[in-house]
Amino acid sequence: MNEQRTSGGACKVKKPISAAASRKIFIITFLAWPVLHWFVFYFLTNINSILMAFQRTVPGTNIVEWTTYNFENIFIEGFGGGEALLKEATINTLTFFAFGFFVLQPLNIIVGYFFYKKMPAYKVFRFMFYLPAIIPTMVMATLFKYIIAAESSGLLASVFSYFGAKLPNLIGSSEYAMKTMLFYNLWTGLTSFLLTSNAMKRVPVEIIESAQIDGVKPMRELVSILVPLVWPIIAVSIITSVLSIFTSSGPILIFTKGEYGTYTIAYWLFEKVLTVTNLEYAAAAGLFFTVLGFPILAFTKWLTRKVEDVEY
C-alpha cells in the first residue's frame, strides 16, 4: 500500500507516518486557523485598543503623537463639559443596569415559574412572550415608535384623541424619552424566562412534592426551593444581561439617536464608530469604561455566588 513506483520502475517504500505524528498534524491543522483568528481578532485588536487610547492625531496634520490627552478629555469634555455626554451615558447605563437587575430579572424568574407550573395556556404564552427575542429589534422598535407616535397616524395618539386627550411626545422630549425606553425594555425584556423555566423542569419532582406535603405555598416554593436550586442558571442570565448593557446599544438608534438625554455608553461608542469620529478618544473612553465596568461585573459575580450551588 505504501509503495511508490519510481520512474526507473523500482519500488520505493514510503515511510508510514507514525500515529503520534499523524495525531500532531491533525491537531495543528485543526487548531491553526482558530489560534490565528484569536491572535488577530482578539489579541492584536485589544492590544491595539490600549495603544490607540494613548494616541492622538495632531489637528490639521497626519502626525500621530503619544499622549494622555484622550483620558484627560474624558474628564474635561465627557464628564465636565457643556454636554457632558459621558456623564449622561454613565448615569443612563447604570439606570438600565438597575432596571434589568431589580425589575426584569425577578419578573423573568416569576414568569418562568408560572410556565414551569404549567399554568393554563402556558404553551401559547411561551410562544408569545418569546416573540421579542425572535423579531428583529429594528422592526419591533420601529413598530413601537409608530404606535406611540404623537402624530394622528399613531395608534396611541388616536386612542387619546378619541377620549379628548392629547398624547405627549413620548420619545421626542427629555421628560419622557428615558422612561419610554425603560418601558420598551420592560415590554420586550421578558424573554429569558425560557432559561429559568427549563432549569426548573430539571429539579426532581420528589423535592417539590415533599415540600408541598409540608404545606409549602407557591411563593415559598419559588423563593426558597426552586430559585436556590436553579441559581447557577439564573446567575448566568444575570451576568449575560449585565454584559449586554455595556455592549449592546439597544433601540436608542431607532428612537432618539441619543437625543433627549438618552445616551448610553454602548450607544455613544457605537455612534463614534458609525460616524468614524475621534476614534482615539472613543478607544480611551472604551478602556476607561472597561476598567469602570469591571467592579460592576465583579460585584454581580460576587452577588451571584452568594447562593451556594446545590447538586441534585
Partner 1 sequence: MEKISAVKKFKLREKVRRTTGEKIIQYTLVVVFTVYSISLIFPLVWAFLTSLKTHSEYMLNSPFALPEQWLFSNYIEAFNSLEVDGTSFFGMLINSLWYAFGMCLGNVFVCSITAYVIARYPFKGSQIIYNAILIMMLMPIIGNGPTVYKMYSYLGIIDSPLFLISNAGGLGINFLFLEGFYRNVAGSYAEAASIDGANHYTTYFKIVFPQAMGLIATLVIIQFVGYWNDYSAPMLFLRSWPTLSVGVYKYESAMIKQADMPIYFAGIVITVIPVLTLFCLFQNKKIKKVSLGGIKG
CA distances from 183 to 3, 7, 141, 287 (A): 74, 80, 12, 30
Nearer to partner 1, 159 or 310 (CB): 159
In angstroms, give the least distance from the CB of 179 to partner 1.
17
Altogether, the residues listed in the chain come to a count of 312
Element (H, E) at 5: strand 3-5
In angstroms, give the least distance from the CB of 207 to partner 1.
11
Note whether 63 and 71 are within 8 A (CB). no
Nearer to partner 1, 87 or 272 (CB): 272
Element (H, E) at 73: helix 69-73
Nearer to partner 1, 4 or 153 (CB): 153
Nearer to partner 1, 273 or 303 (CB): 273
In angstroms, give the least distance from the CB of 131 to partner 1.
5
Residue 146: which residues within 8 A CB-CB, separation 6 or more?
153, 154, 155
Nearer to partner 1, 11 or 205 (CB): 205
Q: What CA–CA distance (Å, rounded) separates 43 from 159? A: 54
In degrees, rounded to 5, the angle at the alpha carbon of residue 298 between the alpha carbons of residues 250 and 130 is 35
Nearer to partner 1, 115 or 231 (CB): 115
Q: What CA–CA distance (Å, rounded) separates 24 from 41? A: 25
In angstroms, give the least distance from the CB of 214 to partner 1.
13
Q: What CA–CA distance (Å, rounded) separates 13 from 242? A: 62
In angstroms, give the least distance from the CB of 208 to partner 1.
8
- Point out which residues pair with 12 in neighbouring strands: 4
Q: Is 163 helix (H, G, I), strand (E, B) or coil?
A: coil
Nearer to partner 1, 96 or 129 (CB): 129
Find the helix packing angle between 193-201 and 231-247, rounded to 10°: 170
Note whether 237 and 192 are within 8 A (CB). yes
In angstroms, give the least distance from the CB of 8 to partner 1.
30
In angstroms, give the least distance from the CB of 279 to partner 1.
4
